[in-house]
Each structure stands twice: as structure tokens, then as C-alpha cells.
Amino acid sequence: LHLTAASGYNITVLIGSAIILFKLLGKRYLVIPGVIISIVFFALIAGGGASVIRAALMGAVGFLALQAGSARSAKRIFVLTALFMLLIKPAWAWDVGWELSTAATASLIWLEPFISKYLKSIKYLKPVYPELAASISAYLATFPVLVWRVGWNNISWVGILTNIPAAFLVPWIMASGAVIGFTGLIWPAGAQILAVLTRPPIWALVRIIEWGSKINALHLF
């Protein structure tokens, strides 16, 4: 559920995917406006709820902070933004959605550069390392929040194992969903065709969830 909910994790995946897209198109000058526009569209498509807006705002701030200058400046901008949001509404400090969005955005600034550097050194991951780095860093940052919220004893170890392959499928599902959605605005019949072609990652995610549920029911972990 956390992987598919509109949260900071999805925003970081979106940012990584948009960066890859515009770089592959040879339009590096469109990376910054393209990412921001993508975040705005995502927030609108996801319903524009409070949790979505918070996640979108934190993601946009984190991305712009990294683009604006040094890592130290990015960290300061992020901290000031988080404090400003809490000044507006202190109750957000106890809101799990805000905590997850903040953790995911913080991962872009503190974790993503290190993970990205490592993945970039792997030859076969070079084409997709920005998106993978964003996904992995967001997952690592949000996991402690989930442990704190639900308790260590209530964390399913099967869930941790199944989330690893599932996390790699979510970006493809999000990307295909975006393509289908935009295609549907112009060519509905074409969107139907694309929907059939993009079923495999969704099928795989459902199977992972089902297998994980069956294994978890055995109480082996």
C-alpha cells in the first residue's frame, strides 16, 4: 500500500523518471521546468489532497534545492521549509503522511547522491541509475518511519523482502500510467492498446503481493 499511495516515495520516483526522460530526449535545459510541471500534474491527477500537496511541495523544494547550488545550501533550504510547514500547522509533526513525505524528500538530499554515485559505476545501470537511486534512497529513508509508526514487532519480514522487487516495478507502472493517461486525452483507442501492452509489470506486482501474503500466512519469519 505504501508503494502505491500518493506519497513522497512516488514523488521521488517521478523526479527520477522525469530527469531520465528529458536527458534521453537531449533536452537537458528542460529538466528543471519539466520536473516541476510533472510534479504539478501528478498532484492534480492524484486528487490534490492535503497529503499529496505536502508530498509534492517537499519533493519540489528538495529538487530545486539540489539544483540551486551546493549540498549545504540544499540541506538548509529543506530544513527551513520543513520548519516553516510546521509553523503553519504544528499538528503535521504527528501526521504519518507528512513524516513519510519529509523523509522521502530528505533522502534526495542526503542519501541519493551516494547511492547514485555507486549505481553509476555499474555499467548496465547507467541508463536508469538516477531513477533507481531516487527509488532506493526513498525506500531506505521511509522504512524507519514505518517501523516507528507500526512497531518493530509488527513489521513483516516477508513484506521487506517482497518490497525490494516490488519497488523496482512501481516506477515502470507509474511511467506507463502517465503515458496511457496523456495518450487517452488525444487518442483514446491508442490508450487502450497501450494499456494492454503495459499489463506485465502490474501483473508481476500483483503476483508478488499474493506470493508474499501466502508466505507470510505460514509464519516462517
Give the DSSP letter string of 144-201. Answer: HHHHHHH-GGG--HHHHHHHHHHHHHHHHHHHHHHHHHHHHHH-HHHHHHHHHHTHHH
pLDDT in the model for residue 4: 62
Cell of 191: 490508450
Q: Is the pTM of this model over 0.75?
A: no
Nearest-CA neighbor of 207 among 146, 145, 165?
A: 165
* Nearest-angstrom CA–CA distance, 143 and 122: 25
Per-residue burial over 197-220, b = 16 or more CB atoms within 10 Å of its CB, e = otherwise: ebeebeebbeebbeebeebbeeee
- Residue 190 CA, distance from chain mean position: 27
The stretch 167-174 carries a mean pLDDT of: 78
CB 95 within 8 A of CB 55: no
Burial class (CB in 10 A: 0-12, 13-18, 19+), 29: exposed
Give, as one character, the DSSP assignment of residue 26.
T
Give residue 204's pLDDT band: very low, low, confident or very high (50, 70, 90).
very high
What pLDDT does residue 168 have? 75
Lowest average pLDDT, out of 2-16, 40-54, 114-128, goes to 2-16
Cell 514523488 found at: 11
pLDDT digits (tens, 9 = 90+) for 88-139: 888 888 888 788 878 887 887 888 888 888 888 877 766 666 667 777 787 7
pLDDT of 203:
92
pLDDT tens readout for residues 147-158: 888 887 777 778
d(CA 63, CA 59): 6
Tens digits of residue pLDDT in 156-170: 778 777 877 887 787
Please give the average per-residue pLDDT across 186-209, as a whole number. 89
pLDDT at 131: 66
H-helix or E-strand containing 53? helix 50-68
pLDDT of residue 8: 66
Q: Which of 46, 50, 79 is nearest to 62 (CA)?
A: 79
**Per-residue model confidence as pLDDT tens digits over 62-87:** 787 777 666 677 788 788 888 888 88
Mean pLDDT of 163-186: 80
pLDDT at 51 over 70: yes
Rounded to whole angstroms, how far apart are CA atoms 95 and 54?
11
